[in-house]
Amino acid sequence: MALLTLAGFCLAQPAQATPLLRCAVTYAGSTQTIEATPVADPYVVASVDIGGRFWFKPVVVGQGSRLDYIKLYAYLDTASQPVLIQEAKYLPPFASAQLPASLTGEQHLYAGHLERELIYNCTLQGVQP
């Protein structure tokens, strides 16, 4: 009987989801979805090529369901090397979200001699208050 009670208790507890950062990144009318989960070492996260013009790097640092911080980096790709055009840092406490909640709002970045536009919006889900 005790085992059945324990099993029922375990099933009644909501499973803790791993936090997920999902960013919709748009350049030249094409949108990519980039996802990031917590890592212990931010230096292992790779940047993602966006249309051969930009690089985008979402970094979620934490362990399990605990988040220490989120950093977003956007770079303009140039002939010599990528140039940082934005770094955004988000610290806890993060709002609890049953549905994905916007973390960043819609961001519009302009860079390069032609002022090319990069647009992104990131949502965060699976965060416990």
Structure pTM? 0.84
pLDDT, tens only, 38-79? 999 999 999 999 999 999 999 999 998 899 999 999 999 999
Q: For 74-114, how does the pLDDT look when each residue is reduced to its tens digit (9 = 90+)?
A: 999 999 999 999 999 999 988 765 557 789 999 999 999 99
Nearest Cα to 76, choosing from 88, 85, 65, 66? 85
Query: Could you tell me the sign of the dihedral formed by the alpha carbons of 102, 76, 60, 34, in that order?
Result: positive
